[in-house]
Amino acid sequence: MADVRSTDFSENGWVDPLEGIDLSAKNIVVLVSGGGTNLQALIDAQERGELGGGVIKCVISSRPDAYALKRAKDHGIPTRVIQRKSFPDVESYSNALIEALYQEYADLVVQAGFMTILDRCVCRAYQNKIINVHPALIPSFCGKGYYGLHVHEAALEKGVKVTGATVHFVTEVCDGGPIILQKAVEVKADDTPEILQKRVMEEAEWKILPEAVRLFCEGRIKVKDGKTIIS
């Protein structure tokens, strides 16, 4: 995207730096750390025209070896790597991430398997503009320590008959932001954490994450009193 702060004067007069740019499109920046299966679901939805006019502008990884970077490059999506170990503390890392989001003109930030802890300044800078998908039905099996296979191990240990996934806005409270969408998934008697993880991804995460992005980009999500209202 052109730099909206710049102006261009030519011999024929002023040239609009935004000419040819669709200002109605929402710029989406996806944060990743690993394989990028949820990123792939977003890419597939974008290529089907199902992101409500949103465009994945950039993929930012906390690891240079994340396979998600290859997924992005294979589809012509620009990438960046911002490693945590390159910064002395969480605050400086978070500030670097905010600067990158500003540079990408991010309207929506999607955490898709992003495993790096961020400072609260990021949530404040992008209040109700950062979403995350969690592999359980919040408020069950969420919060500190509940990530990846740990979530599914806990669900099986508890013996629940139904689990699922939740897309929510990110706040300073881990997994505590307003819930946008949820989808239930059956737990079967012979499930292992790996089998259950795969089913939750296929039947829930890969469906409700693109749907939540679409709703956001269409301006259909409002937050009131800590709860979302979808028009």
Catalytic residue check, 134: yes
C-beta separation of 103 from 124 below 8 A: no
Candidates 147, 150, 113, 108; CA nearest to 130 is 108
Q: Is the dihedral of CA 171, 175, 178, 183 positive or negative?
A: positive
Catalytic residue among 75, 134, 150, 152: 134
Q: What is the DSSP string of 27-70?
A: EEEEEESS--HHHHHHHHHHHTT-STT-EEEEEEESSTT-HHHH
Rounded to 5 degrees, φ, ψ at 21 are -100, 130
**Enzyme catalytic residues:** 134
